Chain A
């Protein structure tokens, strides 16, 4: 299925896995600097993970294996999705016709596992967070498919390998307007899927307003480390997807392409920080409107392609 995978593509994946914990750090640092504070070090994410893996786990009496499996499935599904991205601009380690659906499916699987592990604790908070996460996802997922549909139409490839790989370079001069709209929609999606302002506030301590954070209140030690790593990886994954769309890398050398992706991901993280320091969070009931708005952008992109 994978064909002959270039081992350098795997190196690119490994690099993304390695830099992931720093990406939320960049967003937080940007926010701190822009609001006149010093902020935590960019590499704080690594320290937190190192601290958490050394700690013990605490499990509630009422939780089952579902709770324990959650964090592992979350990270595994994200890694699976990452394998489908052609980071070096040539080929993804894992690709087949129609893998755009598999990509969305992997994300859904991770979310499903996380939500189940939250529900498994029986806590009313986590149930509330789970319900919010699923509600937001039910709006976000169709938008992701609309974005993919636009990319498939623009490039003629049913696989991410082509759609955001070599073929995207040729599509940009031809369908600039559509691709700009898709990129905008993907950025909104990134904010929504990763619990950032204006959809959620990653810095809040208020359990009643949280979306993502409240589901994982009961996770501790290495499990929490996996959850935090999963959150960082998800942000990095979406940023990488956005960079793959915006930056055609086929012309770059095999070594410089992944570096360009990494730099692009950092730029996206800075953008996230800028958004977070410029606006307040939306009321929870307004979140679907934002995501549907992003969907409308992607839909316009498709319409422009159907001329």
Chain B
């Protein structure tokens, strides 16, 4: 683990590229594998062209207990020994690297395309494709009575496209493989090539329900690279916006979970209240999705005292109505019986595969960027972390509900004590040859934006890791042993983003 701590990397603190260790492939492997065994977590791993032939691999690791980050790099050519057999957290990252950079991780147990696109981050002189997008065989369970059920990419409801392949024995699910990539838009490439003014719009569109989350992380990276300090008022407004986004989405999920178990009273109440949450976001940003609020240097719109007072009153009212709806839902024996014991994700799996957000917290793995790697307003105002222990659908539902309560508490408190001052400071040019990791606790969990600048301060690489990137594997692991008829409910309790994964 030599040098992992030495770079001084923290959430939103840029370091010169020179401070990040460059190791041989074997050392790199050892560093990452040993760090993960020591309790570090692989937050991001990606490749970018090093020269015409070679690829620079970077691994970003997080030590949640100490609030520290670490990074290490290595240079590889056509192939390198995969980390996945010794470090399962690298599973999806290495498939992504193979697909994006045309580098083969030898010994990867399930090397197939992740999003089915051609390499867009390979070294210029390399013309080969390591993973053929058209070739993606599914895992099969053999047996006379085993049957396959294929669902999607077109679904019965108005949701995003994804393909689910079940190996089932009657109603029992033996295995689930999830194939995504239908929403791939080349987000990382766009973020790297677009002018900075437009790049923020791209960041806002990574996942339509995590606008504040991704824009905040992207701007956090730019601000750190430009050494731009936001005013306390801007930080407070960003924090309030982030929590409003969390409240709106969690409330929507609570309603959707109630709808999936056909519990109409809660489904109707939460569905209606989600609208009110979105309306509050509109008061703040001018639209219900939160677009156009967060820009490098602060926030575009200020809150007047009247608006802050009005928002507080609306949040108080919302809290009362939500308490009523939640007591109907959690007080109903039939709902509880339906949610408990379904789709269990064990704490061991969370630790092994590095799941994040409410999924991890529902399995009693305390993991929350606001708490572990505090930034902005969260350095001064703490939102208590919510955990549950069962790891099932009920636990994930409960965690969402308690997070809603605590976020409302936080927003009311902040609205009552908004610091004075401007909301915008100028954000100048980015420093050249630096690396920054900006993490943010979106409502689905950890969002990581890693930005590496080149010699002229241009963005050389902008890596995005949505919480869904980690957590789709959790859904696939939660299903075996459950009934196939429980899948929609289980899926809803994770409510992962297709767009956020597909980029």
Q: Which residues of A contact B (CB under 8 A)?
A: 31, 34-37, 124-125, 127-128, 131-132, 197-198, 201, 203-209, 276-286
Contacts and interface: CB of A to CB of B under 8 A. Distances in A.
A280 B263 contact: yes
Given A124-B150, A206-B157, A198 B334 contact: yes
Interface stretch (B56-64, B291-299, B398-406, B486-494): B486-494
B336 to A, nearest CB: 9
Interface stretch (B127-135, B188-196, B264-272): B264-272
A280 B262 contact: yes
Interface string B380-408: 00000000000000000000000000000
A206 to B, nearest CB: 4
Nearest to A37: B268
Interface string B461-491: 0000000000000000000000111111100
B149 A128 contact: yes
A276 B262 contact: yes
Contact of B170 (A125, A131, A278, A282): A131
13 contacts: A36-B268, A124-B149, A132-B171, A198-B334, A204-B262, A208-B484, A208-B485, A278-B265, A279-B332, A279-B334, A280-B334, A280-B338, A283-B338
A30 to B, nearest CB: 11
A282 B483 CA distance: 13
Contacts of A197: 262
A128 B484 contact: yes
B394 to A, nearest CB: 12
A131 B483 CA distance: 14
- The secondary-structure label for the interface of chain A is loop
Contact of A207 (B151, B260, B337): B151
Nearest to B172: A285
B149 A281 contact: no
Given A204-B260, A204-B262, A282-B334, 5 more contacts: A128-B484, A203-B262, A209-B489, A279-B334, A280-B258
Given A197-B262, A201-B262, A280 B150 contact: no
Given A125-B149, A203-B262, A206-B157, A284 B483 contact: yes
Interface in B237-276: 258, 260-265, 267-269, 272
B338 A206 contact: no
A34 B263 CA distance: 12
A35 B268 contact: yes
B148 interface: yes
Contact of A209 (B149, B268, B488): B488
A207 B150 CA distance: 11
A283 B341 CA distance: 11
Contact of A205 (B148, B157, B338): B157
Nearest to A286: B337
Contact of A276 (B171, B258, B264, B485): B264
B178 interface: no
B156 interface: yes
A284 to B, nearest CB: 4
A203 B157 CA distance: 12
Nearest to B170: A131
Contacts of A279: 263, 332, 334
Contacts of B170: 131
Contacts of B151: 207-208
Contacts of B485: 132, 208-209, 283-284
A305 B484 CA distance: 42
A35 B489 contact: no
Contacts of B147: 124, 127
Contact of B156 (A36, A201, A203, A207): A207
A124 B261 CA distance: 23
B335 interface: yes
Contacts of B261: 280-281
A283 B484 CA distance: 11
Contacts of A205: 156-157
A281 B486 contact: no
Contacts of A198: 262, 334
A201 B338 CA distance: 14
A36 to B, nearest CB: 6
Interface string B342-386: 100000000000000000000000000000000000000000000
A140 B337 CA distance: 23
4 nearest interchain CB pairs?
A206-B488, A201-B262, A281-B262, A280-B263
Contacts of A277: 264-265
A127 B484 CA distance: 13
A124 B269 CA distance: 35
Given A124-B150, A204-B262, A283 B486 contact: yes
A277 B262 CA distance: 8
Contacts of B338: 280-283
Nearest to B150: A124
A206 B262 contact: no
Nearest to A202: B262
A128 B265 CA distance: 29
Contacts of A276: 262, 264
